[in-house]
């Protein structure tokens, strides 16, 4: 192989020079040590007769001959001239050194030892001209970088599934020896990685693929006032390196960042699929969790490191690693101006900060930090937090609010991502025809051994039996050295620990333990680009086999997948039939019915029971079955008995568990493990316990242990409360999933009871029988195939839960009286599972059938891909994704969002007398009664502070924002909007009061129900308000529509809320233009359309007229309200509050309104029609 770094002779000379330098340094060091040892021994009179017996000298004698090897070799080369032989010899020399220099990735980077060979490291066989150009800039920001050599980071870069087009190492090394050693080791790492792939052809044709750029402060100084640090050196490098192509992407990495194998590919995909996003940076792994995981050889994917949740902590932004469009950086630099000797730090940093401000966080941990490459004492502006820029180069107002803290940036990015997830509804025919699913730039990914690749396409990676069986098969493929790809297609939403909606994969670490090639399409791309990404993954991976299960979107895409890869075996695995789940009208059956419906695009259907097999065959055209009788096959899941305790160990665990749970050693323990939901029969279980309690003789013998969680947990707890002090003993334990977690409970128990009303064959039944328990479960699905008369108790599938509970109690009574009669049943069941239903047999069944289907496919006519047929599917695929959008949005909306993560309450006040203090504290106190953790801002521009008040001082979620004196209402509100990190902003006056009917949750839901930007809530006057306003000054408060606004005159159509229908059930806001000063609004809308800062008062009508002009959608929801409390205004308050005349000249309208009386009279009727249309008429 010809190395790309220089001409052959130069490379040879450099290699020899480096080798000589290393040997001379080693000889010099050992010689000094040997001489010192000789002097000590002479002094101690212990000088040996044989000098070679001295360790140091023996080492020296070994090194000296090596000095002559390179010299002799160079003479031979010089005499023969450059040739292929010299290249071969040099390659062999560098191969040896590469084995010494190239580091292994740290434990938290490689998922597990057995999966190391299956990562996508360095395996792309070619790069097409369409490939994206990825340029890596690795920044070593201190002298420590040269000494420790960030080879882990470089090795990870050269191991990417999407290999970079060039790598530049920017450093500040000033020691020539250290630099030479560093460069040599880095090149050896590159050689070690690319030598195993056809990517070396690309590397050999690009001599400058790996570059080293020394950032010497003295040599590169361009400003007399200060020297250029390494970050400014980076800015210069980015400026002078013009993008190679329009699809060039740059990524800046700190030397301490070790990227996971698919990191560059995922970051590029994120940007490619979102052209409006200018930059992206990933989350890091949680380092303490990684260290703990490494000790247990667990997968690397443990926890992401999120920003702190502390509302008062100023969490600075760490902008690296950062990937961005190179052309966009160049454009910003050009528009901002060229760098000169007079340029300031701000001039250097502005383009990168601009990109970061318009960037996103990719909410998947993609890198970790190697501690020895992190030098906290030498951090500069890019490697340190952006707080440096905020405090020294940029005024706070120069940066957008979401860049004021990491907390704000994360939440803002998450909200943007969620809002775009289902933004494209594809409702019209034109939209569906223009649906973008065309191919993307890619290069195929294959394994080094050219073994077949298997792609698992699954909805998600939650804790469950279907996911567990897929992981079992994947591990079997890994044992066969077949590369694996996982693709997830369905959203499973939850609130993350930052209070934002995020995708949840509880077992994602188990997938990463098998393969690094894991893609969650839902998190990677917006809904309308799902098919595009699926196509990219299939075309780039070119799988030989696709195995799916429980993914409706995959069934609907089956025709599309088969068209993309016609010679790929497509198989599915189904567990159970859901007859109440209709695939089409009057055609129930759930996922197996989907498989049968799209069977012409599948090569194989695998099932968990003969029950499912028979159902699928009955739904498939008989001609298809006659042509291929083995198209539908049963593979029982089974379990792994080796993970259970031996008999001796089981006895010890049994005694210990019963002791820990205070269960008598002679009790008969009935175990339930699963979700506490009606489908699992948890309501029947509660009834069983109550009925057993009515039979004292049986109650003394039995104990019930429930392991799990779910929506009916409260029902179980209520039953346990009723039993306190009475038999039977009832214990509820937290969830335990998988045989490794449940085996202690299996060892402790005697009977496993699962009265489900819908199952395939429950995985826990296999496990419980293998553990030696007597199993009782319902005759549903295929369970009678496992539970026969001699292996367990099959319960009748009764529609009456009470009748089923009665039957179960009779069976338990028989066990308590005649336990020996059931012993043979237990032994038979255990033997049956341990010999016939094992994980090994299950995996063999799946793999054997897939290989058989592949051979059968190969024997038939070879199918050629038809690109026109693929293009013709555009509208069909678009229609599929339209339905998925509706389903995904519905799925997301089912998550109960905590209100403290949704809203921030903002109160502008001017505190200048004790009455205002009392009212503000009263408002805060009334909020805390119902919302103890919602964040509250108090913007105060008055002379008296609130922060020393005990209520404020002791409340970590309330913050006084001290403003410059007499800043005014508008500035105070705008500042609070910019400080808000939640999605919604709740505006209140300081004389409002909450009560138990102030439901902010209903108000927040109201925004979404009509896609409103601002929704007002009702303000009810408490007694005394009208009298106070008669003797003081009237403040106009209107809920109105603007009938006309011309010639500076505003005509209002006002709703007299005392007239009209009751609104207690209103949940969808009614459209208006003007509201009270009590409202909830989208933060992003208020930032785009703020209050006018110049208006210290008179801000109210101006704000709503500006919003109306900008197209802001305003609604009113009077079913949610606050109270308005009376207060006599002090002179100091009147002086700042009632000065409207001073600001009238700044208004676009006359501060006296005209009234559209006919419209106002009709308003109550329009409200009635709205209530009737939305089903909320009281």
Summarised one tens digit per residue, pLDDT across range 522-562 is 999 988 889 999 999 999 889 999 999 888 899 999 999 99
Question: What is residue 14's predicted lDDT score, i.e. its pLDDT?
Answer: 46
Q: What is the pLDDT of residue 1012?
A: 95
Q: Both 831 and 846 in a single domain?
A: no
Q: Residue 403 domain-assigned?
A: no
pLDDT in tens, 1081-1126: 999 999 999 999 999 998 999 999 999 999 999 999 999 989 988 7
First to last CA, the chain: 83
Tell me which residue of 1028, 1026, 1025, 1002 sits closest to 1015, measured CA to CA: 1002
The verdict on 524 and 380 lying in the same domain is no
Region 274-281 average pLDDT: 92
Question: Does residue 98 have a pLDDT over 50?
Answer: no
Does 924 share its domain with 1014?
yes
Number of domains in the chain: 5
pTM of the model as a whole:
0.81
Q: 714: alpha, beta or left, given left = phi > 0 and alpha = psi -120 to 50?
A: alpha
| Token pair of 1057 as six digits | 């809320």
Nearest alpha carbon to residue 796 among 780, 781, 810: 780
Check which CATH number belongs to the domain holding 765 and give it.
3.40.50.2000
Question: Are 744 and 644 spatial neighbours (Cβ–Cβ below 8 Å)?
Answer: no
Helices (H), 931-1082: 950-953, 969-979, 1000-1009, 1025-1031
Band of residue 349 on the pLDDT scale cut at 50, 70, 90: confident
Contact 616, 592 (CB under 8 A): yes
* 1013 pLDDT above the threshold of 80: yes
Secondary structure (3-state) at 696: helix
Q: What is the pLDDT of residue 755?
A: 96
Tokens 């678009």 belong to 878
In angstroms, the CA 135 to CA 252 distance is 9
Asked if residues 473 and 433 have their Cβ atoms less than 8 Å apart, the reply is no
| Segment of 64-73, 275-284, 625-634, 1169-1178 carrying the highest mean pLDDT | 625-634
Contact 1095, 969 (CB under 8 A): yes
Is the distance from CB of 34 to CB of 57 less than 8 angstroms?
Answer: yes
Instruction: Classify residue 521: in a domain, yes or no.
Output: yes
Cα distance between residue 37 and residue 44, in whole Å: 10
Asked if residue 1042 and residue 927 are part of one domain, the reply reads: yes
What 3-state class would DSSP assign to 1145?
helix
Residue 714 CA to residue 734 CA, distance in Å, equals 13
Percent of the chain scored above 70 by pLDDT?
78
DSSP for residue 991 = T
The string of pLDDT tens digits covering residues 1018-1045 is: 998 865 445 444 444 344 457 999 999 9
Which residue in the block uniquely carries the two structure tokens 């707080």?
Answer: 387
How confident is the model over 796-814, as a mean pLDDT? 94
Query: Is residue 643 a contact partner of residue 743, using CB atoms and an 8 Å limit?
Result: yes
Question: Is 311 within a domain?
Answer: yes
**pLDDT confidence bin for 285, thresholds 50/70/90:** confident
Write down the mean pLDDT value for the chain.
Answer: 80
Please indicate, yes or no, if residue 947 is contained in any of the structural domains.
yes
Burial (CB count within 10 angstroms: exposed 0-12, middle 13-18, buried 19+), residue 311: middle
Mean pLDDT, to the nearest integer, of 738-756? 93
pLDDT-derived band of residue 246, with 50, 70 and 90 as boundaries? Answer: confident
The DSSP 8-state label assigned to residue 910 in this structure reads -
> For 672, phi and psi rounded to 5 degrees?
-120, 130
Q: Quick one: how far is CA 585 from the chain centroid? A: 36
Question: What is the Cα–Cα distance from 1144 to 1097, expressed in whole angstroms?
Answer: 9
Q: Do residues 883 and 916 share a domain?
A: no
Range with the poorest average pLDDT among 147-151, 830-834, 1133-1137? 147-151
Element (H, E) at 548: strand 545-548
Within a 10 A sphere around the Cβ of 149, how many other Cβ atoms? 24
Whole-angstrom Cα distance, residue 293 to residue 301? Answer: 9
Q: With cut-offs at 50, 70 and 90, classify the pLDDT of residue 863.
A: confident
DSSP string, 343-399: --HHHHHHHHHHHHHT-EEEEEEEEEE-GGG--GGG--TTTS-THHIIIIIS-GGGS
29, 46: one domain: yes
pLDDT given at position 365: 86
Domain end call among 891, 923, 955 = 891
pLDDT of residue 97: 28
How does pLDDT run across 402-415, given as a tens digit for each residue?
887 788 888 889 98
HSE-up (13 A, CA, CB side) for residue 1134: 8
What is the share, in percent, of the chain residues with pLDDT greater than 90? 43
1018 secondary structure, DSSP code: E
Q: Does 430 reside within a domain? A: no
Out of 80-89, 433-442, 841-850, which region has the weakest mean confidence (pLDDT)?
Answer: 80-89
pLDDT tier, 100 (very low <50, low <70, confident <90, very high otherwise): very low
As a whole number of angstroms, the distance between CA 551 and CA 572 comes to 9
> pLDDT value at position 743?
94
**Do residues 580 and 680 both lie within one domain?**
no
Biggest CA pair distance of the chain: 122
* Distance of alpha carbon 1012 from alpha carbon 1116, whole angstroms: 10
Q: Is pLDDT at 1075 greater than 90 in this prediction?
A: yes
Give yes or no for residue 295 having a pLDDT over 90.
Answer: no
* Strand 992-993 versus strand 935-940 pairing type: unpaired
> What is the model's pLDDT at position 185?
87
- Which CATH number belongs to the domain containing residue 1037 in this structure? 3.90.550.10
Same-domain check for residues 674 and 624: no
Please report the pLDDT score of residue 371 as a whole number: 61
Query: Which of 396, 424, 443 lies at the terminal end of a domain, its last residue?
Result: 396
Residue 548 sits in the same domain as residue 592 = yes
CA–CA separation, 189 and 157 (whole Å): 10
For residue 10, pLDDT beyond 70: no
What pLDDT score does 340 carry? Answer: 74
What is the rounded average pLDDT of the residues 827-849? Answer: 95
Q: Which residues are registered as beta bridge partners of 984? A: 903, 1082
Is 401 contained in some domain? no
What does the pLDDT average to over 187-210?
76
Query: Domain for residue 1071, yes or no?
Result: yes
Which two tokens mark 448?
A: 């080094």
What is the domain range of residue 90? Answer: 8-101
Cis ω before 728 (30° cut-off from 0): yes
The number of C-alpha atoms within 13 Å of 106 and in the hemisphere containing its C-beta is: 24
Q: State the pLDDT at residue 1015.
A: 97
For residue 492, give both structure tokens. Answer: 């499973």
Which of the four pLDDT bands, split at 50, 70 and 90, describes residue 434?
A: low
Most confident of 160-169, 284-293, 434-443: 160-169
Give mean pLDDT, residues 280-292: 69
Q: Which of 217-226, 585-594, 806-815 has the lowest mean pLDDT?
A: 217-226
Q: How confident is the model at residue 29 (pLDDT cuts 50, 70, 90)?
A: low
What are the backbone angles phi and psi of residue 501, rounded to the nearest 5°? -70, 130
Task: Tell whether 874 and 914 lie within a shared domain.
Answer: no
- Which of 108-122, 340-354, 840-854 is predicted least confidently? 108-122
Q: Are residues 830 and 712 in the same domain?
A: yes
Cα-based distances in Å from 262 to 124, 508, 528, 890, 1079: 12, 15, 23, 31, 45
For residue 435, being part of any structural domain is answered with no
pLDDT(68) > 60: no
Phi, psi of 55 (to 5 degrees): -55, -45
- The candidate with the shortest Cα–Cα distance to 776, out of 869, 681, 846, is 681
What pLDDT does 831 receive?
94
Average pLDDT score over residue span 1164-1178: 85
- Are 237 and 377 in a shared domain? yes
């Amino acid at each position: 192989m010809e190395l790309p770094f220089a001409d052959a002779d130069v490379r040879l000379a450099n290699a020899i020079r480096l080798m000589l330098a290393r040997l001379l340094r080693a000889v010099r060091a050992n010689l000094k040590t040997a001489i010192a040892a000789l002097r000590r021994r002479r002094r101690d009179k212990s000088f040996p007769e044989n000098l070679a017996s001295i360790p140091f000298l023996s080492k020296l004698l070994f090194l000296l001959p090596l000095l002559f090897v390179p010299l002799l070799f160079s003479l031979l080369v010089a005499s023969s001239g450059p040739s292929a032989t010299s290249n071969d010899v040099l390659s062999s020399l560098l191969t040896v050194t590469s084995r010494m220099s190239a580091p292994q990735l740290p434990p938290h980077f490689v998922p597990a030892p057995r999966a190391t060979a299956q990562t996508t490291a360095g395996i792309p066989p070619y790069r097409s001209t369409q490939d994206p150009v990825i340029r890596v800039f690795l920044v070593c920001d201190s002298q420590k970088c040269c000494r420790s050599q960030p080879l882990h980071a470089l090795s990870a870069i050269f191991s990417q599934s999407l290999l970079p087009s060039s790598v530049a190492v920017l450093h500040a090394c000033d020691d020539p020896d250290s630099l030479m050693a560093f460069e040599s080791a880095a090149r050896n790492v590159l050689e070690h990685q690319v030598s195993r792939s056809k990517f070396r052809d690309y590397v050999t044709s690009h001599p400058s693929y790996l570059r080293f750029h020394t950032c010497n402060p003295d040599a590169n100084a361009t400003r007399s006032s200060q020297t250029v640090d390494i970050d400014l050196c980076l800015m210069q490098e980015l400026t002078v390196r013009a993008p190679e192509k329009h699809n060039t992407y740059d990524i800046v990495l700190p030397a301490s960042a070790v990227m996971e194998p698919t990191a560059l590919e995922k970051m590029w995909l994120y940007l490619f699929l979102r052209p409006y996003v200018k930059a992206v940076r990933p989350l890091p792994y949680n380092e303490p969790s990684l260290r703990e995981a490494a000790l247990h050889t667990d997968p690397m994917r443990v926890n992401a490191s999120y920003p702190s949740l502390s509302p008062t902590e100023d969490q600075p932004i760490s902008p690296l690693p950062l990937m961005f469009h190179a052309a966009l950086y160049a454009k910003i630099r050009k528009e901002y101006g060229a760098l000169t000797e007079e340029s300031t730090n701000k001039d250097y940093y502005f383009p990168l900060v601009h990109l970061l401000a318009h960037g996103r966080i990719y909410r998947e941990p993609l890198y970790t930090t190697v501690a020895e490459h992190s030098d906290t004492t030498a951090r500069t502006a890019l490697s340190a937090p952006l707080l440096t820029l905020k405090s020294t180069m940029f005024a706070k107002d120069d940066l957008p609010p979401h860049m004021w803290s990491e907390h704000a940036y994360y939440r803002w990015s998450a909200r943007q991502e969620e809002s775009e997830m289902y933004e494209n509804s594809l409702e019209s025919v034109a939209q569906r025809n223009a649906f973008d699913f065309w191919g993307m730039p890619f290069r195929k990914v294959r394994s080094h051994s050219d073994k077949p690749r298997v792609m698992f396409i699954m909805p998600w990676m939650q804790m469950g039996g279907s996911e567990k069986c897929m992981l079992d098969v994947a591990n079997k493929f890994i044992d066969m050295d077949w590369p694996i790809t996982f693709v997830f297609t369905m959203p499973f939403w939850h609130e993350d620990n930052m209070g934002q909606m995020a995708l949840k994969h509880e077992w994602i670490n188990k997938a990463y333990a098998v393969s690094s090639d894991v893609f969650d399409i839902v998190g990677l791309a917006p809904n309308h680009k799902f098919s595009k990404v699926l196509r990219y993954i299939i075309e780039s991976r070119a799988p030989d086999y696709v195995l799916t299960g429980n993914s409706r979107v995959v069934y609907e895409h089956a025709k599309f997948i088969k068209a993309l890869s016609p010679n790929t075996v497509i198989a599915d695995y189904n567990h159970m039939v859901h007859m109440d789940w209709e695939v089409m009208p009057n055609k129930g059956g759930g996922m197996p019915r989907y498989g049968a419906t799209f069977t012409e695009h599948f090569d194989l259907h695998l099932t968990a029971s003969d029950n499912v097999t028979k159902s699928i065959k009955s739904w498939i055209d008989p001609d298809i079955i006659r042509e291929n009788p083995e198209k539908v096959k049963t593979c029982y899941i089974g379990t792994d008995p080796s993970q259970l305790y031996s008999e001796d160990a089981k006895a010890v665990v049994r005694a210990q568990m019963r002791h820990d749970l205070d269960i008598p050693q002679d009790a008969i323990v009935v175990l339930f493990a699963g979700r506490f939901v009606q489908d699992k029969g948890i309501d029947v279980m509660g009834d069983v316990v109550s009925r057993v309690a009515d039979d004292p003789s049986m109650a003394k013998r039995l104990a019930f242990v429930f392991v799990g969680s779910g929506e009916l947990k409260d029902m179980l707890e209520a039953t346990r409360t009723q039993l306190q002090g009475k038999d039977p003993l009832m214990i509820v334990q937290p969830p335990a999933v998988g045989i490794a977690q449940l085996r202690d409970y299996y060892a402790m128990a005697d009977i496993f009871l699962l009265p489900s009303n819908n199952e395939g064959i429950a995985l826990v039944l296999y496990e419980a029988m293998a553990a030696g328990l007597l199993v009782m479960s319902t005759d549903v699905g295929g369970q009678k195939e496992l539970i026969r008369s001699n292996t367990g108790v099959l319960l009748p599938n009764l529609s009456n839960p009470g009748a089923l509970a009665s039957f179960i109690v009779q069976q338990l009574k028989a066990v308590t009286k005649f336990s020996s009669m059931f012993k043979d049943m237990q032994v038979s069941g255990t033997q049956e599972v341990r010999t016939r239903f094992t994980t090994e047999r299950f995996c063999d069944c799946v793999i054997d059938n897939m290989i058989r289907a592949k051979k059968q496919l190969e024997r038939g006519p070879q199918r050629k891909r038809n690109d026109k047929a693929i293009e013709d599917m555009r509208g069909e695929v678009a229609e599929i994704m339209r339905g998925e959008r509706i389903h995904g949005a519905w799925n997301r909306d089912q998550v109960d969002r905590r209100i403290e993560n949704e809203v921030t309450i903002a109160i502008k006040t001017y505190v200048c007398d004790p009455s205002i203090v009392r009212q503000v504290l009263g408002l805060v106190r009334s909020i805390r009664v119902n919302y103890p953790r919602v964040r509250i801002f108090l913007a105060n521009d008055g002379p008296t502070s609130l922060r020393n008040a005990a209520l404020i001082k002791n409340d970590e979620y309330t913050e006084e924002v001290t403003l410059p004196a007499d800043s005014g209402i508008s500035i105070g509100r705008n500042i609070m909007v910019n400080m808000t990190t939640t999605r919604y902003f709740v505006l209140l006056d300081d004389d409002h009061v909450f009560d138990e009917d102030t439901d902010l949750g209903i108000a927040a839901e109201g925004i979404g129900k009509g896609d409103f930007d601002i929704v007002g809530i009702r303000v009810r006057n408490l007694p005394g308000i009208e009298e106070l306003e008669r003797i003081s000054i009237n403040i106009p408060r209107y809920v109105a529509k603007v009938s006309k606004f011309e010639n500076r005159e505003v005509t209002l159509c006002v709703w007299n809320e005392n007239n009209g229908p009751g609104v207690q059930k209103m949940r969808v806001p009614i459209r208006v233009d003007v509201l009270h000063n009590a409202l909830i609004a989208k933060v992003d809308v208020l930032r785009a359309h703020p209050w006018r800062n110049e208006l210290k008062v008179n801000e109210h009508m101006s704000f709503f007229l500006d919003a109306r002009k900008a197209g802001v959608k305003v609604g009113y929801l009077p079913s949610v309200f606050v109270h308005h409390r009376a207060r006599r205004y002090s002179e100091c308050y009147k002086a700042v509050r009632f000065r409207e005349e001073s600001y009238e000249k700044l208004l676009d309208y006359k501060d006296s309104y005209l009234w559209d009386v006919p419209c106002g009279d009709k308003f109550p009727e329009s409200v009635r029609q709205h209530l009737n249309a939305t089903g909320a008429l009281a």
